[in-house]
Amino acid sequence: MSKSDQSFLRQFSLLIAGLGVLTLVLIFTAWTIYEHEPKEVDPNAPQQLSASLAPNGAVYAGNTGRAAMEAAQAAAAKAAAAQVAFGGSTDGKTIFDGVCTACHTAGVLGAPKVGSKEAWAPRIAEGIDTLVQHALDGYHGPDGNTMPPKGGNPSLNEAQVKAAVTWMVSQSK
């Protein structure tokens, strides 16, 4: 073997050895990072498991079944009523910031921008009750503008919607 071949083999061997050492260093570094990463612990895992294993429905038969069904419906209605947005707050600005600002700041789907007197003037002329009703029930205008019921947040109650509409109107007069 010539001197240049020996030199090439020595350099190539050193390159392969260096790459092997680099590989081991990267593997060790990744393993160390993985070991120090906090493990994800979901405290709700048992409840989620029991909810996924629970039956999807129930069978109600006769008077006993009817009473159980009515009790279940009453409990569901009570739970739904307890889910009021923003803790039941009727601060119009808070509700606007949490729900309405997404559309009424940028004018999404033809929503009048808060503070735009020319956009709000014809709406204000219809009366606050009409505006509140449109906000509660949703609205599809003739010019293509669309308002989802309760701004897309069904947990808002009527007083909260009225407070938000009143606040927007007061900012746009």
DSSP secondary structure of 54-123: S-S-----HHHHHHHHHHHHHHHHHHHHH--GGGG---HHHHIIIIIHHHHTTTGGGPPPTT-HHHHHHH
pLDDT for residue 68 is more than 70: yes
Where exactly are the structural domains of the chain?
Answer: 90-171
Residue 39 pLDDT? 74
- Radius of gyration from C-alpha coordinates of the chain: 32
Choice between 141 and 164, residue whose per-residue pLDDT is larger: 164
Q: Which residues pair with 146 in a beta bridge?
A: 140
- Identity (one letter) of the amino acid at 90? T
Place 70 in a pLDDT band, splitting at 50, 70 and 90.
confident
Contact 106, 114 (CB under 8 A): no
Mean pLDDT of all residues in 60-82: 76
Q: What's the burial of 94, exposed, middle or buried (CB within 10 Å: 0-12/13-18/19+)?
A: middle
SS3 48: helix
Q: What's the burial of 165, exposed, middle or buried (CB within 10 Å: 0-12/13-18/19+)?
A: buried
pLDDT for residue 149 is more than 80: yes
Residue 82 pLDDT? 63
Residue 156 pLDDT? 83
Task: For residue range 8-38, list pLDDT tens digits in order.
Answer: 999 999 999 999 999 999 999 999 998 887 7
Residue 29 pLDDT? 96
Q: What is the pTM of this model?
A: 0.53
Q: Is it true that domain 90-171 has CATH number 1.10.760.10?
A: yes
pLDDT for residue 115 is more than 80: yes
pLDDT for residue 80 is more than 70: no
CA atoms within 13 A on the CB side of 1: 7
What is the percent of the chain with per-residue pLDDT over 70, rounded to a whole number?
94
Pick left, alpha or beta for residue 38 (phi over 0 → left; psi -120 to 50 → alpha; otherwise beta). Answer: beta
Mean pLDDT estimate for the chain? 84
Bridge pairing between strands 139-140 and 146-147:
antiparallel
